[in-house]
Structure 1
Amino acid sequence: MLAEAKRLLGFPRIVVICGSTRFMAEMAEAELRETIARPGRIVVKPGCDLKGAHELWADPAEAEALKIRLDELHRSKIVLADEVLVVGDYIGDSTRAELAYARSLGKPVRFTHPEVDPDS
Structure 2
Amino acid sequence: MPHLEAVPAAPHRHDAWSAHNAHCRSRYQILAEAEPDLLCRVLNYFAMQYLIPQRVSVSQQDGMLMIEAEVEGMTWHRAQVIGEKMRNLINVCTVELEPVGDLHVLSEPVSLAVG
Would you call these one fold, judging by a TM-score over 0.5?
A: no
Of Structure 1 and Structure 2, which has the larger fraction of its residues in helix? 1
Of Structure 1 and Structure 2, which has the larger fraction of its residues in strand? 2
Q: Which has the larger radius of gyration?
A: 2
| TM-score, reference length from structure 1 | 0.29
